[in-house]
Amino acid sequence: MNDSAHPLSAIDPSTAVVSLGRPPREVGAALNPPIALASTFVGWDTPDGDTDRGYARFANASWEPLEAAVAALEGSPLPALAYASGMAAVSAALSLVPVGGVALVPATSYNGTIGLARSLAEAGALRLREIDPCDIEATVAAMDGADLIWLESPTNPLLEVVDLPRLIGAARERGVRTVVDNTFSTPLRQRPFEHGADVVVHSATKFIAGHSDVLLGIVATRDAETRARLVAQRTLHGAIAGPFEAWLALRGLRTLSLRLDRAEATAGELARRLSAASGVSRVRYPGLPDDPGHALATAQLDGYGALVSIELAGGADHADAFVRALRLVTPATSLGGVETLAERRRRQTSEPVQVPESLVRLSIGIEHVDDLWADISQALEAAAR
């Protein structure tokens, strides 16, 4: 990707995550922003939008450094908005669909996203068209009369790479708002605004916070009118971020580059080893040269990420046995933390049926690659017995 197009081109993003969101430099001032543990703020004049705190549901000094930092990393001149969870951020973005409007959502999106979209459709709040974004022609055809298209790339948990420039370009030509969930890539690997996206969503619980101790969501946009709508939605619906959670997420952001570089390097090596492992029928990782999304990922991304999905040859029972046999890797449903996690995704009853029963998603952490491989190898052997 052309670094000159990045708004932080004067400094490397690995430097930006350390320097963004700091208080002004003053003698004796704190290096880190404070935590504002207050529900109420002094004021007597007419409130001035979201710049006048007034009450902690409207704004909070603890959110603002994180919101400014993520916006800058994504390439937006407007502060992002922090939410109580990733799903709160997803809900806010889907609220941009007018009542009765049409939303295009991939059938194999994160199960919370497609589940919420289906729930809204059942309630008559929107009309849902489920799409396969890797089928460009069918997706573009489905855009006729649509109000919003939701995209992930790589997708969760199939790790398919979507042609964002083509789909976003087609959506803009047709006046369709584009939302991109950038949780997997983070702004260090992909910046959807550079391709023309309208809204970017993060579950900051994952890589941004990075330590499996925070629930937090973030929505960013470059359009002031859209941002005003989102501010109003957050204020009225009340899914606000906690001040301590926002502070922790900003602290986690400081090490994002180090964590992601380490995890990504390990993920690539594990994917290569797994490709030759007995009992593994398929490895899904866009960094592998034979992965269907490899060429597109190489063109679009600044790295292949820290998620690896594998399919076990023996089916669901084999996959369950593999997960149960792990000793260092933790069986858990989340991702993006410093520890490596594994989950057979179809154990979740809400997981789309298009996800293979034997698929295990691995979120690679920062442990030593050989220790992880030793654990994965013994678990594969144990599952095959």
308-331 pLDDT, tens per residue? 999 999 999 999 999 999 999 999
More confident residue, 101 or 50: 101
pLDDT of residue 41: 86
Domains of the chain: 3-253 (3.40.640.10), 256-384 (3.90.1150.10)
Whether residue 89 is predicted with pLDDT greater than 80 in this model: the reply is yes
The alpha carbon dihedral of 164, 169, 171, 177 has a sign of: positive
pLDDT of residue 42: 87
DSSP summary character for residue 273: H
Lowest-confidence range among 10-24, 129-143, 249-263, 300-314? 10-24
pLDDT of residue 1: 35
How confident is residue 51, by pLDDT bands cut at 50, 70 and 90?
low
Among 129, 206, 222, 345, the one annotated catalytic: 206
Looking up tokens 């409130």 gives 47
pTM of the model: 0.94
pLDDT of residue 189: 98
pLDDT of residue 8: 55
Mean pLDDT, rounded, for 324-349:
97
Whether residue 4 is predicted with pLDDT greater than 70 in this model: the reply is no
Q: Which residues contact 292 (CB under 8 A, 6 or more apart)?
A: 160, 161
Mean pLDDT, rounded, for 34-59:
81
Distances (CA, A) of 292 to 154, 248, 297: 12, 37, 9
Whether residue 12 lies in the annotated active site: no
Among 57, 166, 273, 347, the one annotated catalytic: 57
Mean pLDDT, rounded, for 185-193:
98
Whether residue 206 lies in the annotated active site: yes
More confident residue, 201 or 25: 201
Mean pLDDT, rounded, for 214-222:
98
3 state DSSP class of 188? helix
How confident is residue 9, by pLDDT bands cut at 50, 70 and 90?
low
Whether residue 198 lies in the annotated active site: no
pLDDT of residue 6: 42
Mean pLDDT, rounded, for 347-359:
95
Whether residue 304 lies in the annotated active site: no
